[in-house]
Homo-oligomer: A and B are copies of this chain.
């Protein structure tokens, strides 16, 4: 009797990230070329699983996407089938509709679900695994803050973009003797600020893990002045916090119902620094969404491809309920049960912060 062909499906969840398409391509090519699987994709993450919005993935449909940011499967940020927003009797309610997802998989004969996403998306993956679904996870976070893996794709692209922005700000800072702030991503973990700050020759790096004292920033600026460098570059993670827990901002910003929308910590810090320093103009730039898109860096293309191939290998070996990861330079995997909720913050006493401090970068502490 002929063996049944395996059918697998991918979905991408959460914010987009350079490398998603490279994972989708590697999974699809390996599954088809090596194992003859049929490959599908759910559109818009779990929402597509709920709506059974399924598209076939072929060698043709993944051609030419290796280098492109974004995800050809689309993504949604908040859809969790275990707590899903549905309309019932004319009212919006939240309920567990995960069974619909399980049913849809059965109906289509999907053997395995490959879930590419961050902590939220992978939590649902674990929960589907608990319900008996064959799940493989692929970690995605542009912030590089998952404990279970040494590096996540998208991070290298993000720090390249942030570093290029810092390079650009340098010439203006120097020409006008200004203080230039650049706000980069990192609500909870400061990796992007830390690594782009080292690479982009920042003078001050502010990250959530090391609360800053604004007076220490002023000290650094003054010290540089005294050394004949009357300009400074400051890179700020969006989650950077002052020591006393309060951003010292002009009242109008503090009173706003949506202060983040109005420009982020860098804009506020710029106002406060200019008030304190007086003899320099201070300017801020919020890098924002430019960090997440466009062409994927060489490093991320390779890492994503390795992850994608490894995911199919796990399927082939029947090792479900696991997430692929990178340990040192080796591709490995870990149980989804063990990885959820574990983030990797910057260690204020770790090697990278120490390196930055040794070459003279201030963290405002």
Contacts and interface: CB of A to CB of B under 8 A. Distances in A.
Interface in A1-48: 15-16, 20, 25-26, 29-30, 33-34
Contacts of A226: none
A300 to B, nearest CB: 9
Interface string A38-63: 00000000000000000000011000
A147 to B, nearest CB: 13
A330 B355 CA distance: 12
A318 interface: no
A263 interface: yes
A33 B195 CA distance: 20
Nearest to A313: B358
Contacts of A330: 351
A302 B289 CA distance: 24
Given A33-B360, A355-B305, A168 B290 contact: yes
Contacts of A164: 294
Given A298-B159, A302-B199, A290 B169 contact: yes
B351 A331 contact: yes
A203 to B, nearest CB: 12
B293 A171 contact: yes
B29 A359 contact: yes
B171 A69 contact: yes
Contact of A302 (B26, B198, B255, B295): B198
A76 interface: yes
A268 B329 CA distance: 35
A180 interface: yes
Q: Which of A15, A175, A328 has most chain B Cβ within 10 Å?
A: A175
Given A34-B358, A285-B290, 20 more contacts: A29-B358, A29-B360, A33-B359, A69-B168, A70-B170, A75-B176, A151-B329, A167-B293, A168-B290, A170-B293, A172-B289, A172-B293, A261-B263, A263-B267, A285-B287, A285-B288, A286-B286, A305-B359, A309-B355, A328-B329
7 smallest A-B Cβ distances: which pairs? A328-B328, A70-B171, A168-B294, A69-B171, A70-B175, A168-B293, A285-B288
Interface of A: 15-16, 20, 25-26, 29-30, 33-34, 59-60, 66-71, 74-77, 150-151, 156, 159-161, 163-165, 167-172, 174-177, 180, 195-196, 198-201, 227-228, 250, 252-253, 255-258, 261-263, 267, 270-271, 283-290, 292-295, 297-299, 301-302, 305-306, 308-309, 312, 327-331, 351-352, 354-355, 358-360
